[in-house]
């Protein structure tokens, strides 16, 4: 009888093993591996003088020339405009004059504070560039004067700043 009792155990274990394998196979079929990916799109903003609007016009009033300005031949206004840049990609800011159709002139110049002056024209020029991050950029203006302290040309101009990926 011992022999038969041993066979009965095998007959019990075999169906249990089949059930366990079937359940495991079903569980493997039900589990799914999902591969995800994402793409971070470029993001850039340019704001003038702490404005919350990205399409802001800022008026700059040209000061009256001082005796020093007349002697050196120009009015220089440091920190005339502040640009606030936020970008997750390398960027550059271009600057040009919109309402003038003249060639580059020394009459109206602009620079990043501490940098070299650019002679503004109707063609975009790179004012400053950088890597991703948050930046505050101070911009200086220079207006040429005649020897008598008057402006060499009409000082009113629409200066346009644009940001783009580098």
Candidates 151, 148, 142; CA nearest to 67 is 148
What's the mean per-residue pLDDT of the chain?
Answer: 80
- Structure tokens, 63: 């000061």
Q: HSE of 94 in the Cβ direction (CA atoms, 13 Å)? A: 13
Rounded CA-CA distance 122/127 in Å is 14
Does residue 85 have a pLDDT over 80?
yes
Q: What is the pTM of this model?
A: 0.68
The CATH class of the 44-165 domain is mainly beta
Candidates 86, 162, 166; CA nearest to 129 is 166
Rounded mean pLDDT, 96-113: 72
Beta carbons of 165 and 89 less than 8 angstroms apart? yes
pLDDT, tens only, 5-46: 555 566 677 777 777 777 666 665 555 677 888 888 888 888
Rounded mean pLDDT, 42-63: 76
* pLDDT the model gives residue 26: 65
CA angle 56, 59, 62 (to 5 degrees): 155
* pLDDT the model gives residue 126: 94
- Segments making up each domain of the chain, as ranges: 44-165
């Amino acid at each position: 009888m011992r022999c038969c009792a041993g066979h009965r155990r095998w007959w019990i274990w075999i169906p249990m093993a089949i059930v366990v394998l079937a359940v495991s196979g079903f569980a493997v079929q039900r589990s799914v591996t999902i591969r995800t990916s994402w793409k971070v799109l470029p993001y850039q903003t340019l704001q003038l003088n702490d404005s919350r609007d990205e399409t802001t016009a800022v008026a700059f009033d040209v000061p009256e020339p001082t005796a020093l300005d007349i002697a050196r031949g120009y009015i220089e206004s440091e920190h005339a405009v502040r640009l606030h840049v936020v970008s997750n990609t390398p960027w550059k800011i271009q600057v040009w004059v919109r309402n003038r159709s003249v060639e580059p002139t020394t009459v109206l110049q602009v620079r990043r504070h501490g940098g070299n002056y650019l002679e503004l024209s109707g063609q975009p020029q790179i004012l400053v560039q950088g890597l991703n991050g948050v930046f505050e950029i101070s911009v200086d203006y220079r207006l040429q004067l005649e020897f008598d302290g008057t402006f060499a040309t009409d000082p009113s101009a629409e200066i346009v700043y644009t940001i783009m990926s580098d």
